Amino acid sequence: MRLIIEADDFGLSKSITDGIVDGINGGYITSTNIMANMPFAKYAVEKAVKNNIKSVGLHFNLTVGEPLTKNSLLTDEIGIFLYNRKQIENPNLTYESVYNEMMAQIKQIEKFSKGKLKLNHITCHHHLGDNITIRQVIYDITKLLKLPIRREDYSADFDINKPDLFYKDFSMKNININCLQNFVNRYKNEEIVIELLSHPGYIDNYTKTITSYLDRDKELNTLKQAKDAGLFDNVELVDYFILN
């Protein structure tokens, strides 16, 4: 098994970002994806560059915060993205509005990093791939840029590189060593690439105001405990470059 331990929501807050970087430096997170439109995106990029992190994914976001492009088709009356399913079921969004926003988020990473941080995959925040128009935009841009994508966000018939398996039973559900041990035991002898989803990070007061999910420190600590206990010793830990 080649295992990508993926940390979602890089740049959502300072404390989440700090926790993810500590996990990467500690060897129990191997990949992360950045929310390029969020207020701490610049901090996240600068933190990554400072810590010699060479690449990240884009966590494409149309459901939290403000867009980088000005387009009322994607927002409420005060300019905030429609939240979660409201955006996915938004009858007003267009191919152009989604395409322009996605490209703006990609360019934001390039702008902040000044070319020092390479984009190496695409994931979605809040299952945006459920919307057929958004899915087509993501398909077109990932094909254009020759980037791999998260398997869960897209149907199997999309001819873009993706991990063979997306494992989501740990994050938010079964945050314990036994879950990780059972996962490793099940797949350790398989010749496949697996993405293990996680939402790790530290929790500060600001983070409590922007996300309802507050077990991020528990996820971070559990991954560290798993690494310290040797759970990943016989697993090849990789990042998304394996699929580039």
Q: What is the pLDDT along the chain (244 residues), one digit of tens a residue?
A: 999 999 999 999 999 999 999 999 999 999 999 999 999 999 999 999 999 999 999 999 999 999 999 999 999 999 999 999 999 999 999 999 999 999 999 999 999 999 999 999 999 999 898 899 999 999 999 999 999 999 887 655 668 899 999 999 999 999 999 999 999 999 999 999 999 999 999 999 999 999 999 999 999 999 999 999 999 999 999 999 999 8
Task: Select 2-243's CATH number: 3.40.50.10860, 3.30.1490.190, 3.20.20.370, 3.30.390.50.
Answer: 3.20.20.370
- Tell me the C-alpha distance between 37 and 118, whole Å: 17
- Tell me the C-alpha distance between 20 and 8, whole Å: 9
The pTM of this model reads: 0.96
Contact of 63 with 38, CB cutoff 8 Å? no
Domain ranges across the chain: 2-243
Smallest CA-to-CA distance from 97 within 122, 125, 71 is with 71
Handedness of CA 44, 213, 130, 170 (dihedral sign): positive
Q: Which pLDDT value is given to residue 42?
A: 98
- Tell me the C-alpha distance between 222 and 216, whole Å: 10
